[in-house]
Chains A and B, each alone.
Chain A
């Protein structure tokens, strides 16, 4: 009897599971077949050489041929339409040119439309999910990784990212290059997000579908020239960053002790802070401590240029054994670099104002302050700001205060500057 019981028990245990898996797989392949006609591959082609320069994915969102994709998939065309053209391929083997309707650089989204001869069967649009699923829900990401063919990648919805200002969906599933711009759907085939980035090891990110819905609602009827699209970008980023800085200023600026200073830390949940420090050692006989807070939320502008991140750093140095000359030499070895990514010809060089200044909130010690600025050649009115203030205190002690902003307008920059310096205090 014993072996039989075991076999029955085993069946009782595994049968439903096995059945469930089987059914799930069935359901995925059915779903895949239904959705496939709405999926597209987007290619950016260099006109002169006819070489494919970039490839991504897209999906139909209306029944008259409007597709959604990432801005970074079509950016080369938008930035240099003289040099690049845009075309699509669908799963039925149709191909043709694409035109750009609208972009949302903040959320890395773009709407494109099939141009030229329409395909025989109009693409079936995807349905957009009305709200976000529960954490742990299964999502299926669709796209064309490495241009090897339309693929379906199952994964898990893990909520919105806490440490971003424009919060993306944390998706546990492997997104690969080429899947950018493809949809991630729930098990009933409704779009929850748009594939946008991967951090490796199945940690991936989706743009929430609400942003796509907003872009769709505001889309123009006729195609817009790339030049007009570009012109909208500066205002959009400037207003967005101004809003971000207003929110930041309205955040929680309660101060924490940091050496002789009182400093802000996680002003908003989307600001991530870390600290580091060390005690005096034989070879390096001074104490050192750093507080580093960032908003590492970047706006893609081109392959070589991004903007938007923010960084706030404090440093504290103290030594009981070094003489003032040695200590000054230790302290002066701090340098700071800009936080966002830029190519050689994307930005001007930095210009700086540098002088000994008072900081009223930190009275008593003169600060050598550097206020450095650069601007974007193709996006006039946006600036990167880099500020450093360094001061030595009696008893071979020193502090530095540093922030960088990227892609901000001048009012927002100066507003932040004033607020930031006003918020500090001595312990």
Chain B
């Protein structure tokens, strides 16, 4: 009868594994034992594993100070039958016991994605990808540079990117070594370059879509565009968790999803008021132009577009009501904020005779509807002045 004794770490990770083909296995701190446990809380002769005549395995305490128990149980075990796979605490040491006939799960087939990731680690693949990257980058620079094309620019940009990739790959490599998962530096590097290339390709495709699209499609394409970034990040994390840390399929999927979800949450925080203001001041909505050959659709007939333009007036009337409500709210808030803080005292207090008839809420409403001038004074300095026209109001002197 075979018995296997595993010494475990705190997370049940296997530290040492021994196999015995005998009736009795002694456990303890003394060197006469079969399994020698270096643990001050373990007795010289602490426990005995023993098969009975019917082939059942028993564990028994040999009069130890700290006894035998199961993890998360208080009761000490004097003698009990061991089922294959049971974990015991002996002193502070954790051991797991199997019998030789204990079944194991079938082997996990190496998936294509995993083969592919390992294939990325071949030197010739890395070199090929790196060359493809440099070529793509050079093409991009050549197409995008409006002034004189200079090779120094290509070298400079490629050098920066390559350094960045190498730096990242080295980082992952060391982390991987630290966790005793054996590096695979070239695969990390190839993976980065590949993810970047695919992302660039998708970006170009989105650009073509935006170029072809009308305003109805812009929100969807915006989502597609940001989804591209998240997708690439997911793929990279998912792959690196396998390559560098050998984490199982389910866990690496969950971890990657979690990281991406957190990032999406952060990036969708409310927009800054100022960006909104800047955005609404310059048009068209989408500036992007590409060569005419990439326009793959028929234009809308003139009458149809004119109808859409005419319908926009109704939409604006609704938008105006919303904007009015919003302004009213802000005004009311502003007034509420002012009220409890009468700075300096006397002039802030409204005297009823000067204020004219009407209770306070009414005056708040009046101010809300037509009180543009006070705020406007702050805004006007930042807006383009009418000076360019050569005309200037004679601002009534203040």
Residues of chain A touching chain B, judged by Cβ–Cβ distance below 8 Å, are 44, 47-50, 52-56, 72-73, 75-76, 79-83, 145-147, 175-180, 195-200, 203, 205, 230, 282-285, 296, 298, 300, 302-306, 309, 322-338, 341-346, 348-360, 366-378, 380, 383, 386, 388, 390, 392-394, 410, 413-414, 417-418, 421
Contacts and interface: CB of A to CB of B under 8 A. Distances in A.
B306 interface: yes
A353 B372 contact: no
A90 to B, nearest CB: 18
Interface string B211-226: 0101110100000000
Contacts of B358: 82
Nearest to B212: A356
Contacts, number: 295
B53 interface: no
A414 B309 contact: yes
Interface in B270-287: 276-277, 280-287
B203 to A, nearest CB: 14
A230 B371 CA distance: 13
A80 B370 contact: yes
A329 B391 CA distance: 36
A371 B356 contact: no
Interface string B192-236: 000000000000000000001011101000000000000000000
Nearest to B322: A348
Contacts of B300: 355-358
4 tightest Cβ-Cβ pairs between the two chains A and B: A304-B376, A355-B214, A324-B291, A343-B376
Contact of A357 (B145, B305, B394): B305
Nearest to A338: B281
Contacts of A145: 397
Contacts of A366: 295, 298-299
A351 B391 contact: no
A47 B397 contact: no
A76 B373 contact: yes
Give the interface centre of A176, A306, A325, A413 by most chain B CB atoms within 10 Å.
Answer: A325
Chain A CB count within 10 A is highest, among B301, B377, B394, for: B394
B305 A343 contact: no
B277 to A, nearest CB: 7
Contacts of A370: 283-285
Nearest to A147: B397
Contacts of A380: 317, 320
B177 interface: no
Nearest to A75: B373
B258 interface: no
A302 B148 CA distance: 49
Contacts of B250: none
A304 B214 contact: no
Contacts of B316: 348, 351, 373-375, 383
B110 interface: no
A298 B391 contact: yes
B79 interface: no
B148 A304 contact: no
Given A50-B347, A368-B284, A73 B372 contact: no
B283 A372 contact: yes
